[in-house]
Amino acid sequence: MCFGGWVRCGLLCLACVGLGGGDGEVGAQEAAARVKVTPEVSLDDAALLARIRAGMVEKEAVKAGEMTDYRETIPKSGVEFEMVAIPGGEFLMGSPEGEVDRLEDEGPRRKVKVSPFWMGKCEVTWDEYEPFMMTEVRREKHGGWTGFDPAVHDAVDGVSQPTPPYTEMSFGMGQSGYPAICMTQHAANKYCQWLSAQTGHFYRLPTEAEWEYACRGGTTTAYSFGDDAMEEYAWFYDNSNDKYQKVGTKKPNPWGLHDMHGNVSEWTADAYGESYPVPDDRGVLINPWTVPERLYPRVVRGGSWYDDPDRLRSAARLGSSEDWKQQDPQLPKSLWYHTDATWVGFRVVRPIEVPTVEEMDAHWNSARGKR
């Protein structure tokens, strides 16, 4: 899988475990069995990732032309979610200079080619997310389960999960059927790893390019619907009653995705820049991904229930900020919660190809060691 020209992946201790089949997989599991969770050591290392990847064996390869929408059940919770097949293609990413309410960070426009993938039909709900967020086991601040034994427990149990929140994270806006909110990008990434370990499918956050491509749904206008149809397709400041709403209650975009405009803003996998990087030859970028090198800022898309319509445009962008966790009383601040960002959530994607362990690590652990 090609990730474009801005990918810089690294994985500590990768050389000490096997990444392929056969003896390599056994070596990875043996290496994991020797690791103990401590305040300094988490199981989210190459050995665990290799163990998770070993379970991602498709019964038969899925080809782009054979992709279909599907419904999947999360084994640990029994909750179902739906994925929509998104065809690959090319598009112009960003907004044209003449677009009303355009901001400078939405350009320069660039040609982008995106490979086929599946995307969540709706934003991840509390029904899906809360079983990941709330566990009864004791965890270190990095989320590792202190009693985890790799020789006994499933790989999913080795995935770092959030420490308990200090307040009720829906803030009274609703839970069942409503979008999960207030998680850091790191927490969203680890949810994707937790989900992948259970289902045997590789889930991650969408890249910024994938997100905009899916949001547009083949359109080139400011929204994927007509300007006069906002109330039919989106939850925003004027109609949201000062809170998020249940997912999937507005009309979907042309590709069958709900709430791409409004309800909650959505995390992407990218670092935020004040402009887009463009290749010197002005050629087509293939699956671009601006890999984060710092914690802030990172990109959220789509606008929310708290925003005016201009922030719901397909090309509108926002960078994350440390201010999103001002209310957090913990020192140091939590890895898991942006308690002030009651309008930020996410949805998942699944690429058609199972990536390498290095690529998994780059997505799921992009916050490791970053400041």
Instruction: Please tell me the predicted confidence (pLDDT) of residue 330.
Output: 80
Give the 3-state secondary structure of residue 54.
helix
- H-type helices in the chain, by residue range? 23-33, 46-54, 126-133, 185-199, 208-216, 230-233, 357-364
Give the 3-state secondary structure of residue 319.
strand
Cβ(123)–Cβ(247) below 8 Å: yes
Kindly state the DSSP code that residue 265 receives in the 8-state scheme. Answer: E
Cβ(118)–Cβ(350) below 8 Å: yes
For 224, residues 6+ apart whose C-beta sits below 8 A from its C-beta are 215, 216, 217, 233, 253, 254, 260, 261, 314
d(CA 82, CA 182) in angstroms, rounded, equals 22
Instruction: Please tell me the predicted confidence (pLDDT) of residue 24.
Output: 44
- Tokens 């320069």 correspond to 108
d(CA 213, CA 209) in angstroms, rounded, equals 6
Give the 3-state secondary structure of residue 27.
helix
d(CA 97, CA 104) in angstroms, rounded, equals 9
Digit-by-digit pLDDT tens for the chain (371 residues) are 333 333 333 333 333 333 333 444 445 445 545 556 777 667 666 778 888 898 886 555 677 778 999 999 999 999 999 999 999 999 999 999 999 999 999 999 999 999 999 999 999 999 999 999 999 888 888 898 888 887 788 889 989 999 999 899 999 999 999 999 999 999 999 999 999 999 999 999 999 999 999 999 999 999 999 878 999 999 999 999 999 999 999 999 999 999 999 999 999 999 999 999 888 788 999 999 999 999 999 999 999 999 999 999 999 999 999 999 988 888 788 999 999 999 999 999 999 999 999 999 999 999 988 87
- Tokens 């090309």 correspond to 315
DSSP letters of 59-125? Answer: SSPPPGGG---EEEE-TTT--EEEEEEE--EEEEES--TTSTT--GGG-S-EEEEE--EEEESSPPB
Query: Residue 300 pairs with which residues in a beta bridge?
Result: 267, 318
Task: Count Cβ atoms within 10 A of the Cβ of residue 197 and give its class: 0-12 exposed, 13-18 middle, 19 or more buried.
Answer: buried
Cβ(133)–Cβ(195) below 8 Å: no
- Give, in order, the Cα–Cα distances in Å from 176 to each of 126, 180, 246, 247, 264: 6, 10, 8, 10, 15
d(CA 31, CA 48) in angstroms, rounded, equals 9
**CA angle (176 as vertex; 171, 182 as ends), nearest 5:** 40
d(CA 125, CA 176) in angstroms, rounded, equals 7
Give the residue from 359, 272, 370 showing the smallest Cα distance to 7: 359
For 18, residues 6+ apart whose C-beta sits below 8 A from its C-beta are 24, 25, 26, 27, 28, 50
The number of C-alpha atoms within 13 Å of 14 and in the hemisphere containing its C-beta is 13
Burial 231-243 (b: 16+ CB within 10 A, else e): eebbbbbeebeeb
Instruction: Please tell me the predicted confidence (pLDDT) of residue 57.
Output: 65
Distance in Å from the first CA to the final CA of the chain: 28
Instruction: Please tell me the predicted confidence (pLDDT) of residue 30.
Output: 54
Query: Residue 219 pairs with which residues in a beta bridge?
Result: none
Task: Count Cβ atoms within 10 A of the Cβ of residue 7 and give its class: 0-12 exposed, 13-18 middle, 19 or more buried.
Answer: middle
